[in-house]
Structure 1
Amino acid sequence: MATFEKGILGGFSGKVGNVVGARWRGKNVMRSLPQRGSYVPTENQLLQRERFKEVVTFLSPIKDILNRFFGKQQGDKSAYNLATSYHLKEALIEVVDGFEMDYPKVLISRGDLRGLENPAVTTAANQVVNFTWADNSGQGNANPLDQFVVVFYAPDLNVFQAYEYISAREDVSAQVTLPAFLAGLDVQVWATFVTQTGNTAAISNYLGVLTVT
């Protein structure tokens, strides 16, 4: 790094050719651009990149839901960051040609609210999906007006469908009509409860895989 007060360039900031100019401690300084090295990532680093890519690709479409319902921000880590960390550690499995999500361990929400009790799901004609559960209002912090949220994922199309605030805990049932393009496909299903304000959520339930009729 060199310093200079006057010259053909004068004081400048930024890159010019293969040098960079700036002000540092009241002086004009100039340094050369760093040379590209011959860095080659290790096999373990490449493996970690593949793991991270798989999780982020899967979670990105439901980032908004995760940011709202996956716990509270911790320092500079958003709820989505926390969800990413959880899924990297707990919900990813290695297969012959890479990695894939372990659907029963996937969570769409995480919090201290009382969750679903005895949930069940069935299908009906015209892409209708019916849900039932037991009303556990009054147990812990469960409120009759807590709202039902459900997320579907179609692996064949890599498509999510999310439905929020469609029924209350005290209603003990909910019905969703999926888009026609999902007819005949298998979908993974997760459901949860959130408070009316959306400030607190339960740990979501994995409800299994079903074929849309």
Structure 2
Amino acid sequence: MNYPKIVYSRGPVSTVNCPTVTLSEENKVSFSWLPEGQNENTRASDKATFLIYSAAKKHASYFIATANRADLGFSVVLDEQLIGTDLHCYMSFCNESGKLVGNSMYVGLV
């Protein structure tokens, strides 16, 4: 499977600006991104959704609308069952009401 090509949402809300993902020694996955100017499809109040997938465990963890675009980051401690497996990481934004979504992006493998 070509994990970087997988898309779980499509829509008009702007995608994330220069996203990165890291895995710490404390088994914490941290996403970060850069700020960007606001416009009709890019608001500081947009909500970020994150997906972390372990192909080895066939397990996906979702974190829906857990951070604002203006937060510029989000971290989560891994479930024990995922420690030591390759993790494919994705994220997307929706508007504050959740009625409009944006295209999801593959952020990377940790």
What's the TM-score once normalised by structure 1's chain length?
Answer: 0.49
Deviations along 1:37-70, one digit per CA (max 9) or x if unpaired, are xxxxxxxxxxxxxxxxxxxxxxxxxxxxxxxxxx
CA distance in 2, matches of 1:115, 1:151: 15
CA distance in 2, matches of 1:179, 1:171: 23
- Deviation, 1:197, is 1.7
Whether the 8 Å contact between 2:11 and 2:103 is mirrored in structure 1 is: yes
Corresponding position of 2:22: 122
How many residue pairs get matched? Answer: 110
Matches within 5 A, 1:150-161: 150-161=50-61
The aligned amino acid for 2:52 is F
- Deviation, 1:125, is 2.5
- Deviation, 1:140, is 4.2
Q: 1:204 aligns with which of 85, 104, 110?
A: 104
Q: 1:192 aligns with which of 61, 67, 92?
A: 92
Corresponding position of 1:76: none
What are the ranges of 5 or more consecutive residues in structure 2 without an aligned counterpart? none
Deviations along 1:139-184, one digit per CA (max 9) or x if unpaired, are 4421111011110111111111111122100111111112011111
Corresponding position of 2:72: 172
CA distance in 1, matches of 2:78, 2:96: 24
Corresponding position of 1:113: 13
- Give structure 1 regions of 4+ aligned residues with deviation exceeding 6 angstroms: none
More helix by share: 1
Q: Give the aligned CA root-mean-square deviation in angstroms.
A: 1.2
More strand by share: 2
What are the ranges of 5 or more consecutive residues in structure 1 without an aligned counterpart? 1-100
Whether the 8 Å contact between 1:137 and 1:170 is mirrored in structure 2 is: no
- Deviation, 1:126, is 2.8
What's the TM-score once normalised by structure 2's chain length?
Answer: 0.92
